[in-house]
Structure 1
Amino acid sequence: MNVMEKRELPDYKVELRESEDGVRTVTGYAVKWNALSQKLGYWRRFREQFTKGAFSNALVTFDQRALWSHDTNQVLGRTKNGTLRLTEDDIGLRFEIDLPNSPMGDNAYESIKRGDVDGVSFGFRQKVEEWDENDPDNIIRTIKEAELFEISPTGFPAYEETEVAVRSQQDPYKAYSDDKLRRKKLALKTLC
């Protein structure tokens, strides 16, 4: 099953700047290339990383949004109108959000400025992935291509005991393992 997943990354600090004309911009990285996550999944069975260029296709084909803590009712910016700018560089997926001149924008600005909100999260769906199961205690999922739907400044991770966590309907490693087992059984049936 290919479901949307969310990652919370409080270590990827957001920064604020205000121009002379009053535009307040939030900047930072939503993803850093080849940086391993903490253990993810229901049983904390795998770590994850994104390769450089994982979002290249998504950035030209999708209209991404910046949401306040994943709340679809609180849109802070959008690529379609240029208030959210996403670029891939040598470090990762960089973002710039021009905050709206509204109470929502004011609240976001003040919360980030005070340091109450200093994390970044993103919602994605993997398209191309590889699993390295050579070490059962250190399984690595590498996302090579993904659809990106949103990024979100957020105040805390999905699970307090970790800084990076899965919040999806199904554990991606379990789905991968189940599919691999199903294919193996099907191949054995075909041989018999």
Structure 2
Amino acid sequence: MTIEKRAAQEVRAEGRKLEGYVATFGTETTIHDFKETIHPGAFKRSLASGKDVLALADHDPSRVLARTKSGTLRLTEDERGLKFSLDVPDTTAGRDILALAARGDLGGMSFGFVVDPDGEEWRGDQRALTAVTLHEISVVQSWPAYSGTSVSVRARQNRTDADRRIALLELEGSR
């Protein structure tokens, strides 16, 4: 079993909770010598299975940020794609990810998966993913494969003055 990995871009930070989209539906990307899109419902079976999914930094299993089993990673599928929310730990990896996200230096989000036996449709060099088993999601510091995904950091209700200043600077910079 080979776990495939895909990535997407747009990362912003504010606070200690990362939220956004790991994958978006209907976005075409080139993978090696073929084009690929993800169809709505592709993650539904995997999410319903109750399988423990990890949130990692750069697909590195030694840099765990959260997991579904502990409730620190929450995954849902909506009309746009695979949505996530994770509580960033106060670890070296967690602090590094938050610092890079706050500066806008992260490359995006990625995910590791295996295609289910009936989970793909091929038409020439076009592959549509219709059912996959999700193993992990990753915050990546480099280049993602898919565009259209997003990451933002949600602040706790009790933000510090420094957190408020960072959020204001980010808002001004995004205009």
Per the normalisation by structure 2, the TM-score is 0.77
1:21-74 C-alpha deviation (Å, 9 max, x unpaired): xxx11111111011111x212xx2x11011111111111221101000001001
* Aligned mates of 1:145, 1:5 — CA distance in 2: 13
Aligned residues: 143
Q: CA deviation at 1:118?
A: 3.6
Of structures 1 and 2, the one with the larger relative CO (CA 8 A, separation 6+) is 2
Percent identity of paired positions between Structure 1 and Structure 2: 37
Per the alignment, residue 131 of structure 1 pairs with 122
Per the alignment, residue 64 of structure 2 pairs with 75
Per the alignment, residue 134 of structure 2 pairs with 148
Q: CA deviation at 1:102?
A: 2.1
Per the normalisation by structure 1, the TM-score is 0.70
List gaps (5 residues or longer) in structure 2. 147-175
Larger radius of gyration: 1
- 1:36-55, aligned counterparts within 5 Å? 36-37=28-29, 39-41=30-32, 44=33, 46-55=34-43
* Aligned mates of 2:122, 2:62 — CA distance in 1: 35
1:66 pairs with 41, 47, 55, which one? Answer: 55
* Aligned mates of 1:17, 1:86 — CA distance in 2: 20
1:89 pairs with 78, 81, 89, which one? Answer: 78
List gaps (5 residues or longer) in structure 1. 19-23, 134-138, 158-162, 166-192
CA RMSD of aligned residues (A): 1.5
* Aligned mates of 1:91, 1:40 — CA distance in 2: 21
Per the alignment, residue 14 of structure 1 pairs with 11
